Amino acid sequence: MTDATEHTTQESTEPDVLSQAAAVLDFGPVCDHCLGRMFGKRSFALSNAERGRALRTAVALQANTPFEAEEDGCWICENICDETDELAAHAVAALDGIECNTMLVGSRVPPMISESEEMVWSDLGLSSPEPLKAQINREVGKKVSAATGIPVEFTRPDLVLILDLATKEVEVQINPIYIYGRYCKYERGIPQTRWHCIACQGRGCERCNFTGKMYQTSVEELIGGPVIVACDAEDAILHGAGREDIDARMLGDGRPFVIEVVHPNKRTASLAELQKEVNEAAAGRVSITLDHLSSRREVEKIKSGKAHKKYSILVEIDGSISEDELESAIEGLKGVTIAQRTPERVAHRRADKIRKRRVIDITCTGMEENLYRFEITGEAGLYIKELISGDNERTDPNLAGILGKPARVIYLDVVMVEGVVPETSTNNSEE
């Protein structure tokens, strides 16, 4: 009995939909779309136009007045609701020459229209309206999808069509393609990413021969160049799991990276095709292995990851040392946590602070032309050159300090980067 009473009381407090609909009509000429939108969440399986027509009819029946059909010149939407065919045609035309597998439609509503519908919601206390933006996005999206065969995707579409309802113009926002892989760098003197000229900040000057760059090319450009052409893209940005020095090689299985392809008009090139084109264009300098389509989330993952790295280096040590001295120095570094103040060579672009990193393993594998070959595995962020030289006592302990003789790295190669686990997903979605 109590439940029934509560139910009856609840029903009696529900807004009178027909009274509210009549009040909406009293504001001025309103199209069926906008009348129906004011109660868009109060029923199902009806379009807003059908709902508005039904409400208009019910109001006339309840008031016992002549039925008045919708008038031209809706004061709320300015008849934009009747222009979805035109808007869809503009959107389809904007897709010309662009490849995509999924899309989404969005819109920009003129401020006056937004203010008009919000005034009705507020003045009448409407609790279940649907905004004009939602109706336009849905109806135009269905028409564009039907005309092109491209499905609508809400979470991570290949592109978004933004309709300007005031001008009928369409902006195409093409989402990037992210590709995960590994690269090897065989040539010293190449930076990982583009390095703007420090004198002109990329504008071009005599110092950089008006290229705007400190170095002629980079790993990013050697990989990105062919990708930009194949995808008809604006740019390609390389996100690496750390970076090697410019004068170091990256060998072994390579360094994990994600290449972000910016504004790609083409998305059908296979990873195998892209890999082949890059490796042919950059032969002898850089090679890549592409694994899967990636995401921005994986970019964040590899850039924040703490991958251990293994190095093979050739070291010059002044004067002679015995095997016992060398072995003792190695034991003094193996497994030790090193305190490293920001090296002098990078102090101009990195915060001056002390970082602690562990030497996981260190061995001397022999001699090559009076140089000592070392293999060192260290935690991410361990500066290898300074571990050897001491960097004017900014790194402690260090090989030179333990030996009591100056020592320096002549050649450095990264031979392994581990600790970065790629995503198992092979799609381009983001959760």
Residue 306's Cβ-count burial label (10 Å; 0-12, 13-18, 19+) is exposed
Provide the β-strand partners of residue 355: 340
Rounded alpha-carbon distances, angstroms, from residue 75 to 26, 37, 167, 192, 361: 12, 14, 18, 58, 76
Cα distance between residue 351 and residue 399, in whole Å: 24
Which residues does 385 contact at the CB level (< 8 Å), separation at least 6? 245, 343, 345, 391, 408, 409, 412
CB 401 within 8 A of CB 338: no
Yes or no: say if 293 and 206 are a contact pair by the CB < 8 Å rule. Answer: no
3-state helix, strand, coil in the chain (%, to 5): 35, 25, 40
Our CA dihedral for 46, 49, 54, 58, rounded to 10 degrees, sits at: 140
Buried b (16+ CB within 10 A) or exposed e, 251-284: bbebbbbbbbbbbbebbebebeebbebbbeebee
CA dihedral 376, 381, 382, 383 (to 10 degrees): 110
Token pair recorded at residue 411: 């050649």
Residue tagged active-site, from 245, 253, 352, 391: 245
Residue 265 CA, distance from chain mean position: 17
Amino acid occupying residue 316: E
- 245 is an active site residue: yes
Q: What's 173-241 look like in SS3?
A: EECCEEEEEEEEECCCCCCCCCCECCCCCCCCCCCCCCCCECCCCCHHHHHHHHHHHHHCCCEEEEEEC
The rounded radius of gyration (Å) of the Cα atoms in the chain is 33
Residues forming a β-bridge with 250: 185, 414
What is the rounded distance in angstroms from the CA atom of residue 234 to the CA atom of residue 326?
53
60 close to 14: Cβ distance less than 8 angstroms: no
Helix (H, G, I), strand (E, B) or coil at 128: coil
Which residues are known catalytic residues?
Answer: 245
